[in-house]
Amino acid sequence: MAKFLLGKFDLNELSINKKPVAWSIDFTLPDEVRENMAAEDIRRVDGIFCMTFYSDPHVGDVIEYRGFLWQITGRHFLVNRYSKRGEPRAVPRLLVDYVGKVEAL
């Protein structure tokens, strides 16, 4: 848990979008975690999936996806899709690392 000192604070502005922004995320489970899971559960978690966010995900943020925690390590914008007018369009992709399993309360 974060500790806060009185009189010292940082102001972090956060932009909230009215519409969610879709990000492509490559979730790769470590081998030691995959060994203890059923094949059906692995297919639900391991792979490239699309998630939507109302605020921009930043490097260092931790996200939860299907019972597992992932830390964002990078953001890339791939230009591999074109609009109807032929203009390049950036497709956002997040790079994540496995942190652990969500503990049940």
Helix ranges (H only) for the chain are: 31-34, 39-45
- The mean pLDDT value of the chain amounts to 79
Res. 15 pLDDT band, cuts 50 70 90: low
The answer to whether residues 95 and 74 touch, using CB atoms and an 8 Å cutoff, is yes
Residue with tokens 């969610």: 20
Residue with tokens 């999936």: 49
pLDDT for 88-99, tens place per residue? 777 788 889 888
Measured between alpha carbons, how far is 20 from 24 in angstroms, rounded to an integer? 13
pLDDT at 71: 92
Measured between alpha carbons, how far is 70 from 72 in angstroms, rounded to an integer? 7
Verdict on whether the full-model pTM lies above 0.85: no
Residue bearing the bigger pLDDT, 63 or 54? 63
Neighbours of 23 (CB within 10 A): 19
Bridge pairing between strands 68-82 and 88-101: antiparallel
pLDDT for 59-85, tens place per residue? 988 988 888 899 999 988 877 666 667
